[in-house]
Structures are given as structure tokens and as C-alpha cells.
Structure 1
Amino acid sequence: MAEHDADREPQPIDEDAAWAAIVAGYGEEPSDPPGAKPFKSVEDLALLEGDRNDTPPPPAPAAPEPPEPKPLGSSVVFAPGVGGPRDFSVAEPSDSDLDDTDEGHFIPPEPPPLPETDVTAKFAWLAVIGGPLLMLLAAVLQWEFTWWLTTLGVGGFIGGFATLVARMTQDDEDGDDPGRGAVV
């Protein structure tokens, strides 16, 4: 059992011999692992094929006659039926282009004006937007964050948000009607 323990102990490595082996093998291609097919480069394959076939390669076919030179720009070909490059400009329709089947262009109606808000809603929006802007301005200008500045910024935002949520209208016209389900 003592012999087995001695085999498992790490043996000291001769670093000088290891470096000498690395330096001696520098630039040499390592041998292929057992069972691997040896790599053959294109040059090696050409040499092997040349050894098997001693006949000269067939002559290259004669080059065709060059075509007559074309005038400059004659190589541009457009799709059939198209006389030239496409015009991408927008054509304005005239009244003569429209007939009885055309409905004309759709012109949307003027949107209704926004509903007038009351003073409470205006101050709530001012607090929701103004509170964080005040805190941002104080941070950019490096003001000291005193208790009143923090209370005004954070409290204004929370108070304005709570006011807007509390004043939201419920569009539930049929609040007591339980029959809003599917009808069979």
C-alpha cells in the first residue's frame, strides 16, 4: 500500500529539460494523433496527381471574338415598356383627373376642442410635473436639499398624483346592471 501512495505523489519536473524540448521542437509541425488521416495540402495533392498522370493538360479553348464596342451608356437596360428612369416626383391631381366614380380626397374634420379644466386639476398637474422639475433643478444647480425643498418636491408630486387619481371619472353608466355578460 505504501508503493501505491508513492506512485500518486507528484514527481518533480525538470523544467530545463522541458524548455529544451519545447525549443528543439519549435517550428516543427506536431505529428498526427494515432488513427487520424494525414493532412494533405493543395500543393501536395497537385504533386500526387501530377505523378499519376503524365499526359499534358488539354489546351485551353480559343477565346471568343470580342464584341463590337458599344456607345457609352448603351449597357443600361430598363424594364420592358419603360422609356427611361422612373420619375419619383409627386403628381398633383387636377379636377380633370377625377370623374364621377372618384370620391375625392379625405379631409378629416376639425378635432373638437379640449375640455376646459378646473383650477384644482390645473394645480394638480402643476404639482405632478413641477415637483420633480424642482428637485432636478436643485440637483443641477447644487442647491442644498433643505427640508422645505424636499417636502415641496416630493409632497407636491405625491399630492398632485393623488388628486388626479381621486378625481378620475368613472364611465360606468350601468354600474348596477349584472347582465353585461354573453347572451345565449
Structure 2
Amino acid sequence: MTERDQERGDGRDPIDEEAAWAEIVAGYGEEPADPPGVWPKAEELDLTDTVDRVAPVVSTPEPALPFDSGPRDWEPAEDEEEDHFIPPEPPPLPETDLSTKLAWVAVLGGPLLLIVAVLLQREMTWWIVTLGVGGFLGGFATLVTRLRDGRDDDWTDPGSGAVV
């Protein structure tokens, strides 16, 4: 018994490591046996006795397809004018006032001014930074304050309860 087997002290039989290694080396290069429940390989199957038990397959020749037209030769059927859906004209976009337009110019133009100054390698003077940052912040604040809250203009006092 080796020292490791004695240290285990669990009462199991000692392992013969030399015999296990000799078995591994002797079987080197051979394919191991498949475990139980594994399907056999195609080379190992004997299909001679199963051919007689299988019903013969009757094959019917498929009709010859004429290949005088291809997928690019296909043309859709003519649509009648009545069946074709024509969507209605969309409503016009709402008109905006001058302050909203200027706020959008400031929101987009402020950062654009800073980017152009960096790309052209201009010195960042105080007025460029003030126009860029101030324009963006001022335009953004203007747009946020002009947002609609989604309420109708004819709503009653919110403390009065439900309107029936």
C-alpha cells in the first residue's frame, strides 16, 4: 500500500497505478469502445437482412417541367385602378413661430460652431465659447419651456374632481 492509500483511510481497495498505466499505454492509438446506449456507426451496420423486410419503393417519374421561362421573365398581372390603394394627402406640418425657429438654430448651431472651431484649429476665444455653450443652453431652455403639457385648453380646476 502506498502512503496515499493509507492516508485515505476509507477502507477502499488500493489502486494499482502501474497496472492502470500499462493498460492505458497498451491501448494507445486504438479507438475506445462506445458506451452503452450509443448508436452504432454506419460501417458497423449489417443492412443485408433488412433490405428484404423493407417494402419496395415505387417511384413515379415526375413530369418534365418546361424551362422556357425563368424568374426574370415573370410579369405581374395588370392592376385595375379601382383596387389600388392611394393614401390621402398628409396634413400640413404645423407652423412654428420665430422664437421656436431661433431656439432650434441655437441648439444646433452652438455645438456646430464649437466643432468647426476645433476642426479649423482656431483659438477658442471667450466669444466663441460663449456663443457655442450659451447658444445651446439658451435654445434648449427655450424649447423645454415651450413644450405643451398635453392638456386641453378647456380643462377645469384640477381640484374640482372628475367631470361627468
Q: How does the TM-score come out when normalised to structure 1?
A: 0.48
Q: CA deviation at 1:34?
A: 7.0
Structure number with the bigger relative contact order (C-alpha 8 A, sep ≥ 6) is 2
The residue type paired with residue 93 of structure 1 is A
RMSD over aligned Cα, in angstroms?
3.6
The number of residue pairs the alignment matches comes to 111
**158 and 94 in structure 1: CA distance in 2 versus 1, 3 angstrom threshold:** same
**Unpaired stretches in structure 2, ≥5 consecutive residues:** 1-16, 33-61
Structure 2 Cα separation of the partners of residues 118 and 112 of structure 1? 18
Residue of structure 1 equivalent to 2:75 = 91
Residue of structure 1 equivalent to 2:141 = 162
Equivalence map 1:113-128=2 (5 Å): 113-128=92-107
Q: CA deviation at 1:92?
A: 3.9
Is 1:143 matched with 2:140? no
1:35-71 C-alpha deviation (Å, 9 max, x unpaired): 35415355799xxxxxxxxxxxxxxxxxxxxxxxxxx
Residue of structure 2 equivalent to 1:129 = 108
Structure 1 Cα separation of the partners of residues 18 and 108 of structure 2? 73
The residue type paired with residue 38 of structure 1 is I
SS in structure 1 at match of 2:71:
coil
1:107-126 C-alpha deviation (Å, 9 max, x unpaired): 11111111111110110000
Structure 2 Cα separation of the partners of residues 178 and 90 of structure 1? 66
1:35 to 16, 20, 23: 20
Q: CA deviation at 1:80?
A: 6.8
Q: CA deviation at 1:133?
A: 0.4
The residue type paired with residue 145 of structure 1 is M
Percent identity of the aligned residues? Answer: 45
Please identify, of 113-122 and 102-111, the stretch whose mean Cα deviation from structure 2 is larger: 102-111
Residue of structure 2 equivalent to 1:61 = none
Structure 2 Cα separation of the partners of residues 120 and 89 of structure 1? 58
Structure 2 Cα separation of the partners of residues 112 and 90 of structure 1? 38
Structure 2 Cα separation of the partners of residues 126 and 120 of structure 1? 10
Structure 1 Cα separation of the partners of residues 89 and 74 of structure 2? 26
Q: How does the TM-score come out when normalised to structure 2?
A: 0.53
